Structure 1
Amino acid sequence: MSIVDVAERAGVSPATVSRSLRGLAKVSPDTRRRVVEAARELDYVTLLQANSIEAGPRRTVAVIVPYITRWFFSTVTAGAVDLLRSQAYDVMLYHLGSADVRDQFFERVPLDARVVGILTLSMPLTEEHTLALRALDLPMVSVGTRVPGSPSVGIDEAAAATSAINHLLHLRHERIGLISGTADDARFGFVSSAARRRGAERALAAAGRPLDPRLVADGSHGLEGGAAAMAKLLSRSTLPTAVFAESDELAIGALWALRRAGLAVPEDMSIIGVDDHEMAAMLDLTTIAQSVPEQGEVAAELLIQLLDGTAGDDVCEPVFLPTRLVLRASTAPPPRPRRTTAPGPGSSGRGRASRTG
């Protein structure tokens, strides 16, 4: 059962259903009564929150997050929540956690009746998802993806990857590998890895060194995904001298896998990531830094402007925050001679494995 079903039963638009159940103005008593009756007849879940309409002023923002346990999402959320609370807004967090739960969520969009605005984090929305949110008739801002007609905040993902590859090229690396989290992206519809791969491929092509598919390992986002992807690379007969990991968490997992294989960074292989994760400095990881908390803050500020009517005419133009190269000890010029074979099964995993030119 969805808001569209309630609208059809009551003979009104989905937006009117949303306004009616949330106690917004410009809805006649008769229309509100028909909507409430239709929602009750259809057992629509939003009706269960409608009793809170009279509870007091409505200053609650819904933050819809795919994975609250992951560093990027939790850090963006923290930045947004801090700013919203400083402006006397309450926050209601909706943690989805899987593509199946996401789809179930958007079938009903069970937002609390007190919600006045929405922040979505790094979730590309299907046409059906977008229509479901627009039917709520609430201001919305997205982080990390674009929703037509709504403000968005993020970074130029492709440009960040291009900067990482250019750094490795500047160090004279020729065999540059890539570790991505596209397995998760395919399930949830994330677009960051695809954009970063485009940027990496563009930089390599411009240097006359197209990305070698033998030097690419796909996996899941996170530390374990990075370790597994690096293990795939190490199992192949031809190895890179440097690897671009599409996130710092992937890079940190890759560092762990290299250490277990007895390989030193950057003496045997250079590693660079994207994010400037809170662990990156501790692990001396070279990275393309983005201001993650600031993305949440800027998105929250844009939403507040929409809510209080102070947003400018260009509010729906995407906001791209800058990135920068942070040089640490995980990247260096390639070793000589280059390593082209992985340690054999009988290797102790310590010291330098034999290399061939």
Structure 2
Amino acid sequence: MVASIEDVARRAGVSIATVSRALRGLPDVAASTRDRVLAAATDLDYVASPFAARLASGRTSTVGLVVPFVNRWFFSEVISSVETQLRESNFDLLLYNLGTEEGRARFFAMMPARKRVDGLVVAGLVLNDAEYEALGELGLPVGLLGLEHDGFLSVSIDNIAAARQAVDHLVELGHRRIALIGGDSGDPMRFTPPLRRRDGFADALRAVGAEPDPQLERVGYFTVEGGREAARHLLALPDRPTAIFAESDEMAYGAIREIYAAGLRIPDDVAVVGFDDQPFSTLMDLTTVRQPVVAQALDVTTRLLASIADRGAARASDGDLDPPDDTGDEHPVTTGAVVLDTELVVRASTVGPTGAGRS
């Protein structure tokens, strides 16, 4: 028969609460009592339930991850990387896929993560003041991936500078009629790349006196088919673009397919630049912006876990053995913004196999 915590308490002659505190090594148990409890647990071959230990300590050993979508490359990479890091630290992942505007509103209104996680990572969402306030009221460490805000730890890339570097590359090759295939800037999910990469695109054109032309901007919805449909429209213009900047590699893949389907050459007739440097980009010989997705996920997860550990150590030293309430904690959450570098990877979709640009 498997021994229970009640059996240990009876053998040691103490309360169940004292057994729990002694086995967790908390400081408010006398040394002689702890020795007695440990001896009883050893005699009975008692093994504490991890779930019960979590409840007793007020810790869940779980981190929540909030994403707007799960079926896009960037977010699938984030989910995989965060889950791997948590597993190596003996934490579980609780995933919240918002999916729709209604799902997003419901999440921030009800905060289902409350009392279910020790910390929360929010990936890729542009948050409003009410949503930031809701996160702050959790009283938990919160990490932001893809944006930054005072009071939260964060990691991101400079999407504006990265997009500008990509378009500058096309400008240096002699292109001026440059099209943009991007995400939907009016998407109710409001995630960051469509907003900031378009700003970088526009900045690069204005720097050489070329005002962005609305006719050369199409929505590709971050999908291959969306990129292909956008390129089909752009190539049908009387004065078609000589280059295309796509805000993701998926959309660039679609554009490449459509350019070849139209009987045109890359980069001689139309050059193409993507964003992400996904695995297939090497095979497609696609010039693209390489962003460190895994490094961003590992950075925010590692610092979030450190903040969770700091809070736990601070509560233990204060003798606070109860679960934290929902009104915050007197110990500050580790904050700080980290911005990781991107890199423009030049391949044949802009310079050609011999290094030539526009013909």
Range into which the TM-score falls when normalised by the shorter chain = 0.7 to 0.9
Match of 1:328 among 347, 351, 355: 347
Q: Which residue of 2 aligns with 1:238?
A: 239
Query: Which 5+ residue runs of structure 2 have no aligned equivalent?
Result: 1-53, 312-331
Q: Which residue of 1 aligns with 2:136?
A: 134
| TM superposition shift of 1:180 | 1.0
1:108-150 residue CA offsets vs partner (Å, 9 max, x unmatched): 1112634100001101222222222222211100101223310
Q: Which residue of 1 aligns with 2:176?
A: 174
Counterpart Cα distance in 2 of 1:244 and 1:303: 35
Amino acid at match of 1:302: R
Counterpart Cα distance in 1 of 2:216 and 2:303: 41
1:155–1:320 Cα contact (<8 Å) kept: yes
Deviates more, 1:278-287 or 1:56-65: 56-65
Counterpart Cα distance in 1 of 2:76 and 2:203: 31
Counterparts of residues 15-30 of structure 1 (less than 5 Å)? none
| TM superposition shift of 1:235 | 2.2
Q: Which residue of 2 aligns with 1:69?
A: 71
1:192-222 residue CA offsets vs partner (Å, 9 max, x unmatched): 2221111111111112222222222124222
Counterpart Cα distance in 1 of 2:58 and 2:153: 28
Q: Which residue of 2 aligns with 1:86?
A: 88
1:316 paired with 2:317, answer no
Q: Which residue of 2 aligns with 1:58?
A: 60
Percent identity of paired positions between Structure 1 and Structure 2:
37
| Structure 1 runs of 4+ with >6 Å offset | none
1:280-312 residue CA offsets vs partner (Å, 9 max, x unmatched): 1111110010111111000101101211229xx
Amino acid at match of 1:166: D
Counterpart Cα distance in 1 of 2:241 and 2:141: 47
Q: Which residue of 1 aligns with 2:164?
A: 162
Counterpart Cα distance in 2 of 1:125 and 1:163: 26
1:53–1:114 Cα contact (<8 Å) kept: no
Return the index of the structure with the highest Cα Rg.
2
1:214 paired with 2:215, answer yes
Counterpart Cα distance in 2 of 1:125 and 1:154: 15
2:177–2:241 Cα contact (<8 Å) kept: yes
Amino acid at match of 1:254: A
| TM superposition shift of 1:260 | 2.2
Counterpart Cα distance in 2 of 1:118 and 1:220: 27
Amino acid at match of 1:324: E
Q: Which residue of 1 aligns with 2:281?
A: 280
2:68–2:191 Cα contact (<8 Å) kept: no
Counterpart Cα distance in 1 of 2:260 and 2:189: 31
Amino acid at match of 1:164: A
Q: Which residue of 2 aligns with 1:355?
A: none
Q: Which residue of 2 aligns with 1:229?
A: 230
Counterpart Cα distance in 2 of 1:128 and 1:153: 21
| TM superposition shift of 1:87 | 1.4
1:179–1:245 Cα contact (<8 Å) kept: yes
Q: Which residue of 2 aligns with 1:124?
A: 126
Amino acid at match of 1:317: G
Counterpart Cα distance in 2 of 1:75 and 1:166: 28
1:124–1:146 Cα contact (<8 Å) kept: no
Counterpart Cα distance in 2 of 1:130 and 1:279: 36
| TM superposition shift of 1:60 | 0.4
Counterpart Cα distance in 2 of 1:325 and 1:100: 37
How high is the TM-score relative to the length of structure 1?
0.74
| TM superposition shift of 1:165 | 0.8
Counterpart Cα distance in 2 of 1:153 and 1:106: 21
Amino acid at match of 1:233: L
1:314-350 residue CA offsets vs partner (Å, 9 max, x unmatched): 95332111001111111135655xxxxxxxxxxxxxx
| TM superposition shift of 1:270 | 0.4
Counterpart Cα distance in 2 of 1:297 and 1:113: 24
| TM superposition shift of 1:53 | 3.8
Counterpart Cα distance in 2 of 1:56 and 1:151: 23
| TM superposition shift of 1:248 | 1.1
Q: Which residue of 1 aligns with 2:106?
A: 104
Counterpart Cα distance in 2 of 1:151 and 1:110: 21
Q: Which residue of 1 aligns with 2:192?
A: 191
